[in-house]
Structure 1
């Protein structure tokens, strides 16, 4: 079952999240297990499985990186089960530098420095995401897979920076 077909939306990396949410609620109302509470166990199980499928599809399509990974999977590239890593040495060196900068900020938190670092990381994320959009639109799936791997690295860094920033408010 294709998630885009399930939600009756265009196959695209940029999903209209408002439309997705409306269709999600409609599907949940249609297939919710409470609707078949008086039915046989087999029908209740099928309803529960369909609800899980709807939830998985919704969570995948509303997250841009998960959606990109799903789009690649539809093209036969399954990043979840692969052993490939990023081979771009310049990118890997940059990640090592970022990791060192993050370590320094964790040891000596500086709100201004964290904010500046977040801004740089966000710019990189946006640049790579735009590349990913172009690559998917141009059916450059292997290149898109490589870009997605990089975006996952950057997303982890963004998440760690967010946690670090939040920890400053806990003090």
Structure 2
């Protein structure tokens, strides 16, 4: 697995200074951008393309909290098992049911969908802070993995809300 943090000279932590990440990304891209190698031998062009691709992927992953958390867990030997491990606390399962019912009940009400989206974003921010603590402060990788699975569900639900809002706008 490629080490994204060292590519940008950043500490391997969930809490990322996005401005430093963006600056480091631009510096790496300036060094390896394929256009700089247009008149170089094929091998050098191919290597530059590989580095540019790696930099793009690393930036995309580290810039976004959920992929960043999954990446850190994988680096630390923990598979989130999102496809196989669907066990979650009963309280979160009940919350999922309530959210789904709210989305279904609000499909024709843009304001209700927007409120639900804002509530979901608020809950995600709190949960991301819990992920930060579980990864950076008091390492509890299993708790972080469960939080990531929860966040993945919430992200999917947020997309459903966005899709429902788009459908309402198109009518």
1:124-139 matches, cutoff 5 A: 124-137=123-136, 138-139=138-139
Please say if residues 86 and 149 of structure 1, whose CA atoms lie closer than 8 Å, have aligned partners that are also in contact. no
Tell me the residue number matched to 2:140: 140
Tell me the residue number matched to 2:23: 22
Q: What is the TM-score with the length of structure 2 in the denominator?
A: 0.89
Task: After TM superposition, give the deviation of residue 140 of structure 1 in Å.
Answer: 0.5
Tell me the residue number matched to 1:160: 160
Task: After TM superposition, give the deviation of residue 48 of structure 1 in Å.
Answer: 0.8
Tell me the residue number matched to 1:56: 57
Task: After TM superposition, give the deviation of residue 90 of structure 1 in Å.
Answer: 2.3
Q: Give the alignment's Cα RMSD to 1 decimal.
A: 1.9
User: Which stretch shows the higher mean deviation, 56-65 or 17-26?
Assistant: 17-26
User: Which stretch shows the higher mean deviation, 145-154 or 14-23?
Assistant: 14-23
Q: What is the TM-score with the length of structure 1 in the denominator?
A: 0.89
Q: Which residues of structure 2 form unaligned runs of 5+?
A: none
Question: 2:16 is paired with a residue of what secondary structure?
Answer: coil
1:77 aligns with 2:82: no
Please say if residues 79 and 145 of structure 1, whose CA atoms lie closer than 8 Å, have aligned partners that are also in contact. yes
TM-superposition CA deviations, 1:86-136 (whole Å, max 9, x none): 332221222122112212222xx2133223322322232122222111111
Q: Count matched residues.
A: 169
Task: After TM superposition, give the deviation of residue 79 of structure 1 in Å.
Answer: 2.7
Which whole-Å CA distance do the structure 2 matches of 1:80 and 1:23 have between them? 31
Q: Relative contact order, CA 8 A, sep 6+: which one is greater? A: 2
**Runs of 4+ residues deviating >2 angstroms:** 78-83, 162-171
